[in-house]
Amino acid sequence: MTMNDVLKSKTFAVGTVVLVLIAIWYFSAVMLNAPFQRELDERAKLSPTTGQFIEATLNQKRPVLPAPHQVAVEIWNTTVEKRITSKRSLVYHGGITLSSTMLGFVMGTVLGVTLAAAIIHVESLERSLMPWIITSQTIPILAIAPMVIVVLNAVGISGLIPKALISTYLSFFPVTVGVVKGLRSPDPMQLDLMRTYSASSFQTFWKLRWPSSIPFLFTSMKIAIAASLVGAIVGELPTGAVAGLGARLLAGSYYGQTVQIWSALLSAAFLAAMLVTIVGFADKAVRRRMGIMQ
């Protein structure tokens, strides 16, 4: 590998970005935590050297912005060092959030595809349904989530289902829009062909429209699964849920545990990246099977 290849490689590019981000993060941590550290030092009548001062800003117990290594240690301690059944394990909380994310994602995808199929078959539905579907997405999820949780709790439904419903609410929309577009993507000649065979609209759907929409479906599902995760986390906030990444965020902010907040945040981001990647792999596998990957 020549120097040139190294400079051009993807790993190198990603690595550079990560290093730059970490540097900015450390710098910001020092700047943001400095005022409080100065206060502490004054009260303790200490006059540290610059090196000692910076070190102290990066190792506060409740920093304004925790340093990367503090978050890394916290994540290590709450994943590898804890049994996953423990209430303090991030894996345990991540698992709770993941389960409602997945349930909501599946329901959202099914709902989205069903709506899309209905919309392309019944012309009037597009005019009557679409405005409502779009309006539904303009209402802030933070306004809806508490109502859904409280109302469902009142009728005795709690735990996974209400959170999953919020994920469904966020994830069906990209699927509907994408799949409607996909189901309409066959060109006129492909549709005429079906007409010459006197195919039923059911046959046209399964043999032409549905396969044509698969690439669109997967693109939508990548957006939908990330939206589902957001929905699940938001769903964990309003009731002060005891488990899940959302609960960790909330508890962290109650007690000023910024390190805990940031480790929950990073875990959520990591989870989102994993989920989108998995959908991407599924996309590739399905396309290869269908023979439309060249």
Partner 1 sequence: MTDIQATDAASGAGGTAEDDAFRVIEARELCLTFETNDGPVHALSNVDLTVDRGEFVSFIGPSGCGKTTLLRVIADLEKATAGTISVNGMSPEEARRKRAYGYVFQAAALYPWRTIAGNVALPLEIMGLDKAERAERIARNLELVNLSGFERKFPWQLSGGMQQRASIARALAVEPDLLLMDEPFGALDEIVRDHLNEQLNQLWDRTNKTVIFVTHSIPEAVFLSTKIVVMSPRPGRVHDVIDCNLPRERTLDIRETPEFLEIAHRVRDGLRAGHAYDDE
Cα(95)–Cα(148) distance, rounded to whole angstroms? 22
We find the least distance from the C-beta atom of residue 292 to partner 1, in angstroms, to be 5
Task: Please report, as residue ranges, which positions from 97 to 126 form the binding site for partner 1 (by CB under 8 A).
Answer: none
Q: Does 68 bind partner 1 (CB under 8 A)?
A: no
- Which of these, 209, 218, 237, lies nearest to 277 by C-alpha position? 218
**Secondary structure of 139-192 in HEC code, one letter for each residue:** CCHHHHHHHHHHHHHHCCCCCHHHHHHHHHHHHHHHHHHHHHHHHCCCCHHHHH
Burial of 151 (0-12, 13-18, 19+ CB in 10 A): exposed
Site string for partner 1, 198-217 (x = CB under 8 A): xx---x---xx--x--x---
Q: Decide if residue 3 touches partner 1 (CB under 8 A).
A: no
Count of positions on this chain that bind partner 1 (CB under 8 A): 20
The one segment of 27-35, 72-80, 182-190, 241-249 that binds partner 1 by CB under 8 A: 182-190
196 is a contact residue toward partner 1 (CB under 8 A): yes
Residue 32 or 191: the one with the smaller Cβ distance to partner 1 is 191
103 Cβ neighbours under 8 A, 6+ residues apart: 160, 161, 164, 167
Query: How distant, in Å, are the alpha carbons of 53, 159, 290 from that of 34?
Result: 8, 42, 58
Q: Which stretch binds partner 1 (CB under 8 A): 130-138, 176-184, 193-201, 216-224?
A: 193-201
- Other C-beta atoms closer than 10 Å to the C-beta of 5 total 9
Minimum gap (Å) between residue 127 Cβ and partner 1: 23
Distance CA 63, CA 30 (A): 10
Question: Residue 9 interacts with partner 1 (CB under 8 A)?
Answer: no
Contacts with partner 1, 247-286, as mask; x by CB under 8 A? ----------------------------------------
Report the residue from 73, 118, 130, 193 that binds partner 1 according to the rule CB under 8 A. 193
Exactly one of 86, 128, 190, 253 binds partner 1 (CB under 8 A); that residue is 190
User: Which residues here bind partner 1, judged by CB under 8 A?
Assistant: 187, 189-190, 192-199, 203, 207-208, 211, 214, 290-292, 294
